[in-house]
Structure 1
Amino acid sequence: MLSINNIKKPIAADIDVFEEKFKSSMQSSVPLLDRITHYIVKRKGKQIRPMFVFFAASICGGINESTHRGAALVELLHTASLVHDDVVDNSYQRRGFFSINALWKNKIAVLVGDYLLSKGLLLSIDNNDFNLLRIVSDAVKQMSEGELMQIEKVRRMDIGEPVYYEVIRQKTASLIASCCACGAASAGASDEVVEKMRLFGEKIGIAFQIKDDMFDFGTDDVGKPLGIDIKEKKVTLPLIYSLANATDAEKKRIINLVKNHNDDPAKIAQIVKFVNDTGGLEYAETQMKKYQDEAFEILNTFPDSDSHRGLEQLVRFTTERNK
């Protein structure tokens, strides 16, 4: 099994420096803000997105100060979006810890998200990293559009494969695409190479989200169907495929269950079973592999190196994980 510590070996020193710089980029003279940002930093994840920035820079010319700022910009804006998402979704946990809005209430959480966003903008403006700011700002715009599109379509239960792919391209893939584009741009790559790395990241992001959506149709540690997306009435690729290949009567029955399950475990289990029995998961796995392979085709146009291999392993870790 791939270990995240082994994957990041070629850029381990840069990640260590980044973590210190990222921490300092969040500092404030307001004690309450400092307490909250300290809480955020202590509970950061595996730093997957900054790793994409560093690996992309490394294979496109080399890591420099601009790369570190690009990684911090991505992480600041990503963290701001997560803080705001938890408010929008009334979510009180993130990665097994209390969310900011759970501990400090919605008003403070929104202001903290705004603060992190402004810190990212100022970091770029103060250092004339306007190319990086444009890349990441476009991703944030797309993330908002994708979220709103999903909300609109969920209300109508009107999601086919083309709409699904557009939603996840905007909501999830745009941020990973911006990481790879930022890394390439920070290393001084040409516009053509920056676009190539952006497309590489987009394909990884789509594969990542398909994999994530597949988990919803598994079971938890005690064998109960997960169905988290189903509870939120989100229609994802495994369900889309199964509905498209069902009889009209079965399709009507399942859609009715999705709309009216009322968090009933028995009804959610019926939907999960339907998807498992009708090949939805197998189809999603095939599509995930297709996007992963397309990403590798782009990656293999770059010369072989430790960073090239590290980036390949990072892609596999991201798209082949078990949870």
Structure 2
Amino acid sequence: MPTLDEIKKPIAVEIDLFEEKFKKSMHSSVPLLDRITHYIYKRKGKQMRPMFVFFSAKVCGGITEATYRGAALVELLHTASLVHDDVVDDAHERRGFFSINALWKNKIAVLVGDFLLSKGLLLSVEHKDFNLLEIVSNAVREMSEGELLQVEKVRRMDIEEDIYFEVIRQKTASLIASCCSCGAASSGANTEDIERMRLFGEKIGIAFQIKDDLFDFGYDDVGKPRGIDIKEKKVTLPLIYALKSCDKTEKRRIINLVKNHNEEAEKVQEIISFVKKTGGLEMAEQTMLRFQDEAFEILNSFPETEQRKSLEQLVRYTTERKK
């Protein structure tokens, strides 16, 4: 399996140029704000979202100036949502670094998120990229709805499979879908191809989230069971499948552990062991691969090119990554 850097090689020049443009798009004349956005930029992630934008554009016609703006728009609105999420969750870390609210407090973090949101909106309006703005704005709306749906279901401990898929479709998959449809739209693709790329991205986003759910049943760097979702009372696909395969008594016992003993390391380990023993991980992985295969079926409807092959490698990276 190629590394992410190896997959990125065909668009390395474009990604470097994008990073310059993205950094400029966050610039402010207010020194405090400029300092904070510089902090955000320096701690950026793997750049997988821009990669999906650029590869999708290449598959559908080619990279244009609008592609750079589409990638920046996705990153600005997504970064704004992460800054706000950290405030809502009272989270003090993001990717191993202090969050904005941990360093500069909640009020400033909320204002920074608002600033990034406005920069994304203005970037699109100034260049009349209304189609890209509509795509990404719809994704942000869905992400918010998905988050609220999950909050509601966590409170009630609903464990329906269809609800789980609706939550992750909105929370995670809608963003990857917007990356792929933005890339297609920026290349001048027709409505049908834009929709095909949106659906392709949605299926990859679902597979991506299932992979994250599987990671939660592993162990951290010091050998302790992760179980972060369990501690937050989130019922994910491996647990849903595991609960389907046991009797009512055992099901009630496990749900009770998740609801009332989710902070106890020993009980978390017991839940993880239960999921592994009943085949929940294997069933979730099979479902993840099914969504990946469905995505490849859509991707293969586009002409066979090196760009399509690179996008396929990026997809495989999302489901075969080790962390």
Could you state the TM-score of these two structures normalised by the residue count of structure 1? 0.99
State the shift of 1:159 in Å. 2.3
2:311 matched residue in structure 1: 311
Residues 98-113 of structure 1: matches in 2 within 5 Å? 98-113=98-113
Secondary structure of 1:8's aligned partner: helix
- Give, in whole Å, the separation in 2 of the partners of 1:289 and 1:199: 16
| 1:30 and 2:30 aligned | yes
Aligned to 1:293: 293
User: Superposition pairs for residues 220-231 of structure 1, below 5 Å?
Assistant: 220-231=220-231
Secondary structure of 1:220 counterpart: coil
Cα RMSD after superposing both structures: 0.7
**Percent sequence identity over aligned pairs:** 75
Residue 191 of structure 1: how far off its partner (Å): 0.4
SS at match of 2:214: helix
User: CA contact under 8 A between 2:77 and 2:120: conserved in structure 1?
Assistant: yes
1:244 shift after superposition: 1.6
Aligned match of 1:79: 79
Amino acid at match of 2:118: S
How far, CA to CA, are the matches of 1:162 and 1:262 in structure 2? 24
What's the offset of the Cα at 1:223?
A: 2.1
SS of 2:222's equivalent in the other structure is coil
Mean CA deviation greater in 33-42 or 153-162: 153-162
Which residue of structure 2 lines up, in the alignment, with residue 94 of structure 1? 94
Aligned counterpart, 1:14: 14
Q: 2:114 matched to which residue of 1?
A: 114
1:181-235 deviations in Å (ceiling 9; x for gaps): 0000000100000000000000000000000001111112232111000000000
Residues 70-219 of structure 1 aligned to structure 2 (within 5 Å): 70-219=70-219
In the TM superposition, what is the alpha-carbon distance from 1:302 to its structure 2 partner?
Answer: 1.3
Give the Cα–Cα distance (whole angstroms) in 1 for the partners of residues 221 and 140 of structure 2.
34
Give, as a single letter, the amino acid of the residue that structure 1 aligns with 2:190: S
Task: Identify if the C-alpha distance between structure 1 residues 262 and 300 changes in structure 2 by more than 3 Å, giving closer, same or farther.
Answer: closer
Residues 233-282 of structure 1, C-alpha deviations (whole Å, 9 max, x = no match): 00000001111221111001000000111511001011000000000000
Q: Is the 8 A contact 2:80 2:114 kept in 1?
A: yes
| Structure 1 residues not aligned, in runs of 5+ | none
Structure 2 segments unaligned to the other structure (5+ residues):
none
Structure 1: distance between partners of 2:228 and 2:216: 6
Letter in 2 for 1:134: E
- Counterpart Cα distance in 1 of 2:251 and 2:262: 19
Other structure's SS at 2:301 match: coil
Amino acid at match of 1:183: G
Q: Aligned to 2:174, what secondary structure does the other structure show?
A: helix
Residue aligned with 1:17, SS: helix
In the alignment, the residues of structure 2 paired with residue 297 and residue 207 of structure 1 have an alpha-carbon distance, to the nearest angstrom, of 14
Q: Residues 275-290 of structure 1 correspond to what in structure 2 (within 5 A)?
A: 275-290=275-290
Which residue in the other structure is 2:240 paired with? 240
**Range with greater deviation from structure 2 (303-312 or 203-212):** 303-312
Task: Quote the Cα distance in structure 2 between the aligned partners of 1:55 and 1:111.
Answer: 33
Other structure's SS at 1:302 match: coil
How many equivalent residue pairs? 323
- Secondary structure of 2:35's counterpart equals helix
Secondary structure (helix, strand or coil) at the match of 1:201 reads helix
| Aligned partner of residue 45 in structure 1, secondary structure | coil
CA distance in 1 between counterparts of 2:299 and 2:176 reads 15
Structure 1 runs of 4+ aligned residues shifted over 6 Å read none
